[in-house]
Every structure is written in C-alpha cells, then in structure tokens.
Amino acid sequence: MRRFPALEGLPPYVFAEINRLKAAAAAAGQDILDLGMGNPDLQPPRVVLEALSEAVEREDAHRYSDSRGILELRQAKARYYERRFGVKLDPETEIIATLGSKEGFATLARTITAPGDTALVPAPCYPIHAFAFIMASGAVTGLPAHPGDELLRAAEEAIRMAPRKPIAMVLNYPSNPLTVTADIEFYREAVAFAKKHDILLLSDLAYSEIYFGDTPPPSIFEVEGAKDIAVEFTSMSKTFSMAGWRLGFAAGAPHVIGAMAKVKSYLDYGGFEPMQHAAIRALDHSESAGADVRARYESRRDALIAGFADAGVDVPAPDATMFVWMPLPEDFEGGSVAFAEHALKTVGVAVSPGVGFGPSGEDHMRLALIADEDRLREAAGRLAGLYPAAAKPRIVSNG
C-alpha cells in the first residue's frame, strides 16, 4: 500500500477508542458525564453574537478576506495586549490572525522547520506542540513541563547533546494538561536563555484569562527585548467560548510573523469576515468576558474538587485553565487508556487518558470543566469510587 509521508511519526489517535465507546454508550441511552475534550460548553458574550448578526448582513461579508486577518482585527488584538499586559505591538508587522491558535502553531512550525530540525517541547504537552514539528519532518526533545531551573538546565543539556542545535523551545503557561503557571521572572530567564543560544521561544498563552488567583498570567513580551526571539499564541476559544469559530493569533518577532504571513498567503484567505468583526467586539470586551469566564470555571473547579473531597479523595485545586490533571489510582493495573475505558464502562464518566499528551502523562488523566456544577460533583463522586479507600488520601500533587 502507498505510504503517506505526512503520517510518519503520527501514532494512532488515543481518543479514537474512547470516542467509539462514548458513542456506543450514548446510543444505548446511558447517561455519560463527558469531561474528555477541552471543548467549552459556555456561550460567547451576547454582544459578540449581536456583532456577528450585524456583520453577516454586510454586502461585502461573504467574500475572501485577508489571510493575515483584517487590519481592524489585528488593531483590536494590539489594544488588548496594551491594556492587559502594557505591551505595544505593531498590527502591521507583529500580529497575524490564525484559524485557531492550533492552526497558527502548526503553520509556524511548518514555516521554521527544515527536515531533521529539533524543537524543545514540554513533556507532557498539548499534542500540537510536538506533532506540528513532527509533521514538518522535524523532531522533538521533551523537557520538564514545570517552569523553573530544572527546565532550563534540561534545555541546556539538550542543546549540548544535540548534533544540530534545536531551533525553538515551546512554553505553555498556564499549561495544558498540567495547569501550572509561570511568573515573569521565569520568562526573563527563558528569554535570556533563548538569546544566549539563538533559538526561538514559542509561548502558548491560550489560557491567558482563565486563572483563579490574584495574579493574572503574564505575556512573555512583558520581558524587555522578548519580541526579538519570541512568538506568542493567543486564542478566542477559551476566554470567549468561541472554540468553533476557529480564530487565534500569533504575535511577536516581525521576521517570523512576516514569514508566517507569506506561508499563510498561499494556504488560506483568512476566517469568515463577519466572525472577525465580531471578534473585534469580543477583544474590546476582554475584561468583562474574562471576569465572567473565570467566575464560571472557578465555581466548576470548586464543585469538582468538593465532589472528590466529599468522597474522601483529596485533589488540589488547579490555579488556572479549565482542567484538573490527576494521578490514576495507584493500584490500577493498566495505563491511562485502559483507565479511561474502565471509567467510561463502569461509572459512565469520559476522561482524557494522560498518554494522549505524551508518554510522560501515562499515569494521569485529565478532566475538563465542561459541565455544570451538579454534573461535575456527580462525576467526581463516580470517579472517586474507582480509588480504593486506602489510596484515597495519596493524591498530593496535580503536577
């Protein structure tokens, strides 16, 4: 049979079997509590939907758009960066709209990767952080996913050992799946490190507005000079619950954004223009949208954690994101896919197996806060039943 090079290095999709079981259970009328995919169930802000309806009536609404995103949209993104982070970005040369940040990340990897190039990525990671390079005929080296000295030491060692210097390092804070956050001091060290080794930093800030403490996650561009070597990805999907709209952004180093713009000009014509107009409205309401979405996910997080606590399982509350990253029961014999199947079959809860985020996630599962509080409590109670009584207090860390 013909081999397709693009498939080389892509393992079987771990969620496929879970999805099959989920569909079968739903078809059989079973009530499945689905905490699998990070697919927001909340509604976008009303003003955004109104802006979409208005824009759809425009006579020029249905034509091809600009593959970089319309200028007004890039200007709205620049205003957001300035208000939120005190960072100035040039909408002409330093910002590009993407068809979701996932497409943006993949296009960037395709833009910067030559066959055999390596990137340094967190382990475990959101899958595209690794597979974007693999699909571009590159390779990846996994690094600790927690921000700190250990990560930078491992990166230093990876560079020292590599036959060819890595081209980029991926940072993702608040992180999926670990839910950990980074402070500006870490970014300062990472920027100094990247400059010393002349590698690009790719920061995925998809969860910029989903945090529960008093300190909002910083942008890497708050570090002086970061724009020389960093590109940062942001998304409309989580802050504004616009996941299906497929709209994100890449911003930063003008030579990289310019190169991406050229590649994208061959690939697409930009997103549907009414959506871009509505996204401008959303970005200009980022403070209220962010506050609303935080309140919702915080209350859901608390319900899930309380549900576990009531059943005697102590799970630390994550500081950010819409996920809980949780060790499997110690006595469970089998990996995370087997556990996910077991949870679905025995207690009707769908979870993401940790191995979906790389081999280092194998002894964990990820729960997404995509149901209301009652159902999350119910899901926690059911899952807690899979943790043997003696093992219940053993969960001490969610990283």
CB of 369 to ligand PLP, least distance (A): 12
Give yes or no for residue 34 binding ligand PLP (CB under 6 A).
no
- C-beta closer to ligand PLP: residue 232 or 378: 232
CB of 115 to ligand PLP, least distance (A): 25
The 8-class DSSP code of residue 211 comes to B
CB of 248 to ligand PLP, least distance (A): 4
- C-beta closer to ligand PLP: residue 119 or 384: 119
Q: For the purposes of burial, counting CB atoms within 10 Å of the CB of 395, is it exposed (0-12), middle (13-18) or buried (19 or more)?
A: middle
With CB under 6 A as the contact rule, which of the stretches 49-57, 76-84, 99-107, 308-316 interacts with ligand PLP? 99-107
Give yes or no for residue 243 binding ligand PLP (CB under 6 A).
yes
DSSP output for 290-329: HHHHHHHHHHHHHHHHHHHHHTT---PPPSBSSEEEEEPP
- C-beta closer to ligand PLP: residue 159 or 206: 206
With CB under 6 A as the contact rule, which of the stretches 100-108, 256-264, 278-286, 353-361 interacts with ligand PLP? 100-108
Cα–Cα distance, 289 to 286 (Å, whole number)? 5
- Which residue, among 231, 248, 245, 243, has the nearest Cα to 109 in the 3D structure? 231
Three-state DSSP class for 394? helix
Neighbours of 161 (CB within 10 A): 8
CB of 1 to ligand PLP, least distance (A): 32
- C-beta closer to ligand PLP: residue 126 or 325: 126
Neighbours of 341 (CB within 10 A): 17
- C-beta closer to ligand PLP: residue 207 or 387: 207
Give yes or no for residue 354 binding ligand PLP (CB under 6 A).
no
- Residues 6+ away with beta carbon under 8 Å from 193: 152, 155, 156, 169
CA quadruple 273, 278, 279, 282: dihedral, nearest 10: 170
282-319 in b/e form (b: 16+ CB < 10 A) is bbbbbeebbebbbebbeebbbbbbbbbeebebebeebb
Among 65, 118, 141, 176, binds ligand PLP (CB under 6 A): 176
The structure tokens listed for 183 are 């402070």
- C-beta closer to ligand PLP: residue 187 or 387: 187
**CA angle 102-105-108, nearest 5°?**
150
Among 101, 181, 276, 398, binds ligand PLP (CB under 6 A): 101
- The 125-154 contact track toward ligand PLP, x by CB under 6 A, reads -x----------------------------
With CB under 6 A as the contact rule, which of the stretches 97-105, 152-160, 304-312, 378-386 interacts with ligand PLP? 97-105
CA quadruple 160, 162, 164, 169: dihedral, nearest 10: -80
Give yes or no for residue 239 binding ligand PLP (CB under 6 A).
no
Residue 397 to residues 178, 182, 212, 343, 393, Cα–Cα distance (Å): 10, 17, 17, 21, 11
Among 237, 239, 276, 398, binds ligand PLP (CB under 6 A): 237
Cα–Cα distance, 115 to 18 (Å, whole number)? 33
- Determine how β-strand 323-327 pairs with β-strand 248-252: unpaired
Residue whose Cβ sits closest to ligand PLP: 100
- C-beta closer to ligand PLP: residue 131 or 387: 131
- C-beta closer to ligand PLP: residue 45 or 329: 45
- C-beta closer to ligand PLP: residue 81 or 387: 81
Among 34, 204, 209, 273, binds ligand PLP (CB under 6 A): 204
For residues 348 and 31, the answer to whether their CB atoms sit within 8 Å is yes
CB of 166 to ligand PLP, least distance (A): 20
CB of 323 to ligand PLP, least distance (A): 8
Among 36, 44, 45, 100, binds ligand PLP (CB under 6 A): 100
Neighbours of 269 (CB within 10 A): 13
Among 36, 38, 127, 218, binds ligand PLP (CB under 6 A): 38
**List of residues contacting ligand PLP (CB under 6 A):** 38, 100-102, 126, 172, 176, 204, 206, 235, 237, 243, 248
